[in-house]
A and B are shown apart, each in its own frame.
Chain A
């Protein structure tokens, strides 16, 4: 049975262009906060461009997946939560880590494999973590984070805590068992969790409709009678509003939700992907819907951000990224004497 929201969204043919309006939020939020969203979006943009560059300069190894093009989804998602909520994500998580308060310097240091990194150089790009900020991990196995997030929500419900868990994933993740098992468990036990699908329309080279029998991904929630909706993932305020609503419902009513944010990744799956499977025309069309440009135009139109302010914010973000690189460069690698640290908890870690 579809929920009311799902029927409504389906009837409206909700899609990237016509998702819920975020106009009221623009009016009801103070200027500083709105400008901070802009700041975070450009910070992620610069950070990811720099990460790509550092990868090609062999400062970063392994896989490296960027949030370029998804900045509105990342910022809206994080802003819709409270600071003490718990966040689980997949491996495309640099932006989420930064928005949850891990400094770009410490994230960059992790990408460089330095001991000052947020996972002490043990995790790398796909496995950022910060217990103090309740950033409970990027996870490199597709779908792996979902059952964990459900378990964290289980622990919160067990203790009668006020916090909730938010769990991000990609579109391709909705085709696997962990997605379905996790939604079922979350609804069955009525756990305070918000699932976010970042529908960037591809899982590696597989387009959504080539991998999912139901390409309207938010509709998959109906199998579990879970509330769900689709939002325009290029509209930071729309994502924010959807996440904030879902978070409130999770907190107050112990109802999980599924949100699908539709966006696009501007580059390949990871830094080394030559990206040959997407039609040029499609890429060009989506690049025109650059979430940062869209938001800048809205702020300008509302008289909240003139060109000088915009330049000031962008310069500050750029500087923060430069400093992050400097910090990462200057930091030391972990000592090989510590190779066996952290295999086991207690026992001196070994």
Chain B
């Protein structure tokens, strides 16, 4: 007669989330030590889509590096390319015409809305709701069409140039953007009623996965993750760049520290981005879109340059160490989700696995940006 297997009360098992788990976006692996449905310990393993973007920055010229920046975060690519061109322009002392900066701000904000829309859809789908994803993609499609008409690409834009832009926007773009703003405002109301007000959604997010402000500081979390934990930090306000000081907009901050707070920050940010676009279209000055005095082959002076910008996921920084040559001696990219992801391991200890996956969604991860 056999005796039934006796489990030790403290026995745990290892659960691999990823590398290609359908519940995560991109190839991220999280090794979780589980006690039943509770996480005892988790370990994030990165590197599955590392493409050596930093190294590439060192062995090609500054202009040749332009397309790389939009391959980091494929959902909000313009923010990253903006950081790159700003860094080079400041280091090389290139004056950018005002019109070009306004167009940059407008397109970056449109891209931010597109990125948040996709995150919104994917996040709700992680939690089991499918329709919002379809509605969000439908709205995002309008932005992609607009951006395609000016940049020539739908996702991996290569639109900004040192000293200006690849080409100018036309009246069609301005018309389309003006039509889009009220449409998007209506959609935001729809999302508030359909998703934010939904009881199941609220119960799964409110009070779940608290991330304290200390933890954010410890891991260097920025963007909506930090702003959902009560840290009022937005590079556009705190270290203004481009023409952002000209715009009147608010930085949404929530103090609840839970997944719901992070969700609300992003939903409010979309409205603020619409405000910036509206003001940008109104104030858009005429004139050239490319600097007149601009060296053909850009060489930076010897030195160490850093530029931070606020992308859809947080503060993105690019550091260029130049030895005076036409390519960088060392190029370092500080990507926001890399830092945001690292608080996951500590924060998810003792959490239910389903809550942890919702938490992961609320961090808004884009894996190629983390891995670079």
Pairing of A with B: no
